[in-house]
Amino acid sequence: MESEITTEQKIMDAAEHVFLDEGFSGARMQHIADRAGINKAMLHYYFRSKDKLFELVFRHKMKQFVPQIEAALNEANMTFIEKIDRFVLAYLTMLQKNPRLPIFILSTIHRNPELANSIDIKLGAEIIRLMEIEIKEGRIKKVDTHQFMLTLVGMCLFPFIARPIFSKTFDLTPKQYDQLLAERRVHAVQYARAILIGE
Amino acid sequence: MESEITTEQKIMDAAEHVFLDEGFSGARMQHIADRAGINKAMLHYYFRSKDKLFELVFRHKMKQFVPQIEAALNEANMTFIEKIDRFVLAYLTMLQKNPRLPIFILSTIHRNPELANSIDIKLGAEIIRLMEIEIKEGRIKKVDTHQFMLTLVGMCLFPFIARPIFSKTFDLTPKQYDQLLAERRVHAVQYARAILIGE
DNA sequence: GTCTATACGGTGATAGAC
DNA sequence: GTCTATCACCGTATAGAC
């Protein structure tokens, strides 16, 4: 039974937590060490530098952030709206488990746009292609594909990005906001249907 | 003619630029000084500390970020959709001039949620009230007011927040993305109409 | 008001004993 | 592999001359 958590893994977990909370320049190696229950020297023993450690964390998180779109959209025997429902569900489920992921990824890339280069371009092209087929076949309205995708993804991500400011503006308790997030799937899909089909 | 820019103003301009690019912990007082064309000591002479300077910048930017909603929504002799159109136009126009504002505000508040406390709560309540009247009078569908507002604001902000990652995913040149942003108003309002009225 | 010089603390990183 | 001690540097902030 090798169920023991390795030091390396403890560091990665701690690093993820601290970097997601504080960002690269706000994070302190000391905090990560404390959280991992070891000392700073060990961080450098396992991962050479703060930069290397951050890069690993970022890449790992980036994988979570982008890819699962594909699985949802490529299922056969589904209407486009059903595919969207799957996509929204998958995305929101992941976000519930990683609520601070979006702002971490987006603010990191904002300050370091080259980091977006690891993204696979084919994915976007494939989505656009799928939508254009739906439009051509007359199963959805003639919407601008990019504008719609921006809206769809925004409907999933934005509630997590804007949580603190929205809670305050609309005077919602944490419990109420969680409820809002739990119900987000239904509304996002309903809105998508209104846009793509009209009801 | 007092058209000369004061040192204080030069510092504020420089500070805004650097803080918006780098965030609080990423920003360096040296950068701000360089950009303002003065030396570090002057920063502390005019503004006591980095914290104080940042707070001023943040408050100033926060004012831009939130309030102009009110003007758009309180105009008389307008349908609700027309009001939304005004709101979206005003918001997008401001964002075109301040494209890095959203990620700055949201990532700052993310790391320091108390900063959201400066927000005026009455504004949100007023919007909800207006929408509920529209619903009651049967002029728009029975949508969840909070869910809709999250979507509406997201449709405006998200394209600016997600620009680098979206450009990459959908392989859009800066010019193409600017075009997308320029056309955002039409699509956002059209989507809002689809949601609120059906077409 | 503006500058130079410097104090002071903290941070990433390394050396070296065990 | 893990620790303590330490280094070199950088960043904020201040002192003090002009």
Q: For residue B41, what are the contacts with CB-CB under 8 A and spacing of at least 6?
A: none
pLDDT more than 70, % of chain B: 97
B66 — pLDDT class (breaks 50, 70, 90): confident
pLDDT per residue as tens digits for the range A132-182: 999 999 999 999 999 999 999 999 999 999 999 999 999 999 999 999 999
CA neighbor of B95 nearest in space, from B191, B188, B18 = B188
Q: What is the pLDDT of residue A74?
A: 77
Q: Which two tokens stand for residue B189?
A: 């309002």
Whether the per-residue pLDDT at B67 is higher than 80: the answer is: no
Whether the per-residue pLDDT at A199 is higher than 80: the answer is: no
B1 — pLDDT class (breaks 50, 70, 90): very low
Cα B29 to the chain's mean position, in Å? 25
Quote the CA–CA distance of A55 and A60 in Å, as a whole number: 8
- Mean pLDDT (chain A) is 94
- Mean pLDDT (chain B) is 94
Enter the pTM of the model.
0.96
Q: Which two tokens stand for residue A67?
A: 């890819």
Whether the per-residue pLDDT at B85 is higher than 70: the answer is: yes
**Can you give the three-state secondary structure of B152-169, one letter per residue?**
HHHHHHHHHHCHHHHHHH
pLDDT per residue as tens digits for the range B86-122: 999 999 999 999 999 999 999 999 999 999 998 888 8
Owner of token pair 């800066």: B174
Q: Which of B147, B165, B172 sits opposite A109 (nearest CB)?
A: B165
* Exposure string over B52-76, b if 16+ CB within 10 A, otherwise e: ebbebbbeebbeebbebbeebbeee
Chain B 77-96, residues with CB within 8 Å of chain A CB atoms: none
pLDDT per residue as tens digits for the range B141-175: 999 999 999 999 999 999 999 999 999 999 999 99
CATH numbers and ranges of domains, chain A: 7-58 (1.10.10.60), 66-196 (1.10.357)
Give the least confident one: A150-154, B34-38, B76-80, B177-181. Answer: B76-80
Quote the CA–CA distance of A74 and B133 in Å, as a whole number: 42
Specify the amino acid at residue A185. R
Interface probe with A: pick from B64, B147, B186, B196, most Cβ of A within 10 Å: B147
B11 within 8 A of B42, measured Cβ to Cβ: yes
Contact A188 B151 (CB under 8 A): yes
A73 — pLDDT class (breaks 50, 70, 90): confident
Quote the CA–CA distance of A88 and A94 in Å, as a whole number: 10
